[in-house]
Amino acid sequence: SPDGQHLYVTADVGDALSVYDVASDGSLSNPRIYSNDDTHELLGASGVTLSPDGQHLYLTAAEGDALSVYDVDSDGVLSNPRIYRNDDTHVLNGAWGVVLSPNGQHLYVTAFVGDALSVYDVASDGTLSNPRIYRNGGTHELNGALGVTLSPDGQQLYVTAFSSNALSVYDVDSDGALSNPRIYRDDDNTHELIGVWGVTLSPDRQHLYVTALVGNALSVYDVASDGALSNPRIYRNGDTHALFGARNVALSPDGQHLYVTANAGHALSVYDVASDGALSNPRIYRDDDDTHELSGAWGVTLSPDGQHLYVTAYNGDALSVYQVVQAVETNSSLYSLTHSASINPGMDTHTLVYSPTHSAMTSPSLEGRPISTDGFSLSTTPSMTLSTTLSTTLSTTLSTTPSITPSIEVEGENERDYGAIAGAVTTGAVVTGAVVSVVIGMVCWATHRAKLKSAIYEMQNKQ
């Protein structure tokens, strides 16, 4: 939530949305679990975002083909659900990505199965109206529409089309309508967009970063004042870069560091970002038995203040939350990452801890070993447990000279069991005003959802 006092989590397989209170020490309590039923449409709960004032929450249900709006009370409790379903008026078949305009007046939703992008007007009470639907075909390339993001000023929208290996840029009019689509397609020489997935814009809106899941690549584009893209620089999987199955990408609030997950490579990479957007000095953190749970690394995001990084590991069934602290040193900045949460269930239990607080670590060490200036160190403060059949791992990395503190909790080792979410494969967390919506894995969806699953696996099998 904007005040950092509540955490929101979606569970795809569990068909649930949970709200937790966040204490000053980061511990979670008082879980309120909303399950799929006659009142709530949470079948395949996926994307989640909050209004700028934190008074309304928007949620997509990929399997339920629906979009829901909730009122958010001061204590984080959700009420008054309004459900918009796939029908002649709304194209929400496989509803996936969701993003609000900076002024909170327009909502954009992708439909992966419906091959569409929809724009809604948002009333002061959060109610949606006047859907304008952009469908695949003709001037629009939206086959497998997936990722969506807006420029900070809300004047341009970027959307990825996974199934057609394309990235589109739209101008956004004052009424939220989209126009002037410019489509960038995968080709042999200029663009690497096979299985395009994640997309994010630098804070100064000068550079766009895009991952290609099947192309095993990360691309950087220059962004013109009209949103047009040019000068792609492509970083491919190899000896220097761990981008096998590049999935999601996030930037630090100051735009100086970039984080990318490699799903097939089971890795998390941190890059320095130059003023021209170029990436350098990759630090690669791989899945191992002792320090990092990055098997099937999937989602990655930072809190707006840069103090927390979240990484999910689908194969590892784990979720870790780390606390990021910056301590100024001579000629450098040291970012110490203190592990504050992890999920690692056996068959049906997750452990989750989230801490919004922080403390500087001026001389960190790992089990008595000194920390190198380009590596990670460990220290943990676990404090919460969740129940689920799948899990996610959030681990963190930051800065030019980062240090990290991952610690994986095992089922039964933490007695503070706060609640249960069965099969959490999609996680959304709202932290200090930003919403984290991280897709953690593929599930066996119903037959009519087979397009997403088959498309992803078919393309992955080509790797």
d(CA 212, CA 222): 17
Question: How many residues are present in the chain?
Answer: 463
CA atoms of 7 and 19, how far apart (whole Å): 6
> Three-state SS for 124?
coil
**Comparing C-alpha atoms, which of 41, 27, 129 is closest to residue 78?**
41
**Where is the domain boundary, 137, 166, 185?**
185
Domain boundary residue among 302, 327, 350?
350
* Rounded Cα–Cα distance for residues 116 and 93 (Å): 9
- Residue 262 is encoded by which pair of tokens? 């490699």
Any residues with CB less than 8 A from the CB of 418 and at least 6 apart, and which? 20, 28, 29, 31, 352, 384, 385, 386
CATH number at residue 329: 2.130.10.10
| Residue 139 and residue 198 in one domain | no
Domain boundary among 328, 350, 372: 350
Residue 222 inside a domain? The answer is: yes
Say if residue 37 is in the same domain as residue 180: yes
Largest CA distance in the chain: 64
* Residue 435 within any structural domain of the chain: no
CB 15 within 8 A of CB 43: yes
Determine, yes or no, domain membership for 447: no
**Are residue 39 and residue 115 in the same domain, yes or no?**
yes
Residues 6+ apart with CB under 8 A from 200: 149, 208, 209, 249, 250, 251
Q: Dig out the tokens for 132 from the structure.
A: 């304008």
Element (H, E) at 324: strand 318-329
Question: Domain range holding 160?
Answer: 1-185
Residue 257 tokens read as 């560091």
Contact (Cβ atoms closer than 8 angstroms) between residue 262 and residue 271:
no
For the chain, 463 residues long, give each residue's pLDDT as a single digit of tens.
777 677 777 777 779 888 877 665 545 578 899 999 999 999 988 888 899 999 999 999 999 999 999 999 999 999 999 999 999 999 999 999 999 999 999 999 999 999 999 999 999 999 999 999 999 999 999 999 999 999 999 999 999 999 999 999 999 999 999 999 999 999 978 999 999 999 999 999 999 999 999 999 999 999 999 999 999 999 999 999 999 999 989 999 999 999 999 999 999 898 999 999 999 999 898 988 777 788 888 778 776 677 777 777 777 766 666 666 554 332 323 334 444 444 333 222 222 222 222 222 222 222 222 222 232 322 222 233 222 322 332 322 223 333 333 333 222 333 222 222 222 222 333 332 222 333 323 332 333 345 555 554 554 454 4
Residue 249, beta-bridge partner list: 260
Same domain, 129 and 217: no
Q: Which of 112, 439, 111 is nearest to 248 (CA)?
A: 439
Q: Which residue has the tokens 């792609």?
A: 232
Answer yes or no: do 205 and 124 share one domain. no
Secondary structure of 64-110 as H, E, C letters: CCEEEEEEECCCCCEEEEEEEECCCCCCCCCEEEEEECCCCCEEEEE
The per-residue pLDDT for 23 is: 65
| Same domain membership, residue 216 and residue 140 | no
Q: What is the C-alpha to C-alpha distance for residues 203 and 186, in angstroms, rounded to an integer?
A: 26
pLDDT at 426: 28
- Whole-number pLDDT of residue 416: 24
Of 352, 336, 337, residue with least CA distance to 391: 352
Which of 320, 324, 378 is closest to 351 using CA atoms? 320
| The pLDDT value given to residue 290 | 75
Please state, in angstroms and rounded to a whole number, the distance separating the CA atoms of residues 40 and 19: 14
- Contact status, residue 379 vs residue 364, Cβ threshold 8 Å: yes
pLDDT for the residue numbered 341: 47
